[in-house]
Chains A and B, each alone.
Chain A
C-alpha cells in the first residue's frame, strides 16, 4: 500500500472510540478499496485476539480483609472470619488447615483471620499455586527452597520462621530444607505429615489421586499418616521411599534410584516401567494437555524413558513412536489429544 494509513483513526475505530464523523470517514475509506477492507479486518482480528486472559481474583477474601482494616466501622457487622492459628508441635492434627479451595484457583490469596487477643494484628497465610503446565520455585527467608510441581498448592503462614516452620501441601513438591535444629520443618498434606530438621526430599499427595509418597534424597525425615497413632510414624533415610498403602499404612522401600520420583525437580521426566495411564496423568499436568486413550487397555502398557527439558511435541512424538501409537490432535482444542494404536499400513 502506497498511501499513508491513518493508524490512529483505525485504532479509534476498532477500539470503539470514534465520533460519528470519524466512523463515517473510516467506512468511506474501507469501501474505496478491497485492500483497505482487508486491513481493517486484520486489525479487528488483532484486536479480538489481543485480549489478555484475566485470572480469577478472590473478591470475597479481599473484601473481608479490607473490612478488617477499616477504622471507621461499616454499618453491617463483618462476616465471620476464618480462624487459623499455628499449631503446636505436639498437636499432630493432620487435617488440612484451610478448606482446600480447589487447584483451579490460579494464584496467591490472603485469608484474613483474627487472633484470640483483642489486638488488631492480621495474620496471613501466603498461598502459592501452580496450574497445569507450570512449575514454581519458592525461596523462603530461612534459605529453604521449594520446587512446586504442576497443579499444586502450597500454603505458608506469615509467621513462618518465627512460630515454627510449617507448610501445607496439596499436590507435589520437592523441598530443600535449610537446617535449623530448633525449628523442625513440617509438611502437612491431607493424609501425611513429614517432619524434618534439614534435608532434601519430595512429597506427592494430589487430592485426586489415591497414591501419596515421600521420597528422601538427603538427610532423614519422619513420616506419619492420618490413620495411625504417632507411635507408628516411620523414619526415612536418603534413598528411601514411603508409600501410602491401604488403610493409612506406610510401606517403606529402599530404592536403587529415586529418579522416577524426584527428577522432575531437575527438569527431567523419568519413567521406569510406568503404566501409560500414569504417564498420561504426568504429561497432562506437566504440559497442560488432555490426553485420551482410544482403548483403556493401552493404559496398562509400560513405558521406560527419560526426557530432559523436552517440549510437549517431542515427548508426544517419542512416546507415540516407542509405543506404536498414533497422535490425533483435536482441531478445535489444540491441547486435546487422542492416542490410538497406529494403523500400520
Chain B
C-alpha cells in the first residue's frame, strides 16, 4: 500500500528534497521503498531485480534532486519512474544464466498442495490475479494493493482514465466469477 500522505504533505516533502534536505530524502525512501519494490516485482518478476530497479530510481532522483518538480502527486511520479526503469531493466536483461536467473528459479519454487487448502488465501489470490491479462493485472494491483486513484494509475501507466475504468470493471467481473466458481466446488 502506498504511504498515506496528503497531496500537501507530498509536495512539502518534494520541496525539501529539491532543496537538498537529506533527511527528507531518507524519509521519502523509507515511506515508498517497500510498496515500490512490490510494484516493480510485478513487472520484472523477481524481488532482487525489483529492489535493484527501485534503488536505481532513488539514486537517480538524488543525483538530480535540484531539478525535481513532480507535476502531479509524488506517488504517481515515483510509481511512474519505477515502471519506466523496470521496463528498461526487463529489456536489457542478459540472456545468460546468472545468479539472477537462479533466483528466478527460486521464486518459482514449488507451491505445495493446492487441493487441500483451496481456501487458503495467499495462493488462491496469487493464482486468480495471475490469470488476469498483464495490463489488467497491473491496473488492478495498483488500485487494490497500492491504493492508487484512477488518475494516478493512468499517469503511472501512461494510459487514459477511461482505460483504467474499463480494465477495472473487467478485472472485478472476472475475479468475482472465478471466486464464485471456486466457492461452488469447494467442500
Contact surface of A with B, Cβ cutoff 8 Å: 6-12, 14-15, 17, 42-43, 45-47, 49-57, 59, 62-63, 65-66, 69-72, 74-76, 107-110, 126, 128, 130, 133-141, 148, 156, 158, 160, 286-288, 311-313, 334-335
Q: A51-B145, A74-B22, A141-B98 are in contact. Are A66 and B59 (CB under 8 A)?
A: yes
Which of A11, A52, A137 meets B172, CB within 8 Å? A11
Is B120 at the interface (CB under 8 A from chain A)?
Answer: yes
Q: What would be 14 A-B contacts, judged by CB atoms less than 8 Å apart? A: A7-B169, A11-B171, A52-B144, A53-B122, A54-B34, A54-B35, A56-B34, A62-B33, A66-B59, A72-B63, A76-B23, A126-B99, A313-B113, A335-B117
Q: A69-B59, A107-B47, A313-B115 are in contact. Are A47 and B106 (CB under 8 A)?
A: no
Q: Which residues of B contact A148 (CB under 8 A)?
A: 106, 109
Measured CA separation A15–B180 after assembly (Å)? 19
A284 to chain B, nearest CB (A): 12
Measured CA separation A45–B94 after assembly (Å)? 42
A287 touches B144 (CB 8 A): no
B119 touches A7 (CB 8 A): no
B139 to chain A, nearest CB (A): 10
A50 touches B173 (CB 8 A): no
Which 10 residue pairs are nearest across A and B when measured between Cβ atoms? A8-B169, A7-B169, A74-B22, A136-B109, A57-B34, A313-B116, A11-B168, A136-B106, A75-B22, A46-B176
B125 touches A14 (CB 8 A): no
Which of B51, B102, B119, B121 meets A140, CB within 8 Å? B102
A108 touches B106 (CB 8 A): yes
- How many chain B residues sit at the interface, stated as a range, is 35 or more
Interface centre among B29, B48, B172 (most CB of A within 10 A): B172
Interface centre among A12, A56, A160 (most CB of B within 10 A): A12
Is B90 at the interface (CB under 8 A from chain A)?
Answer: no
Measured CA separation A139–B172 after assembly (Å)? 39
A156 touches B99 (CB 8 A): yes
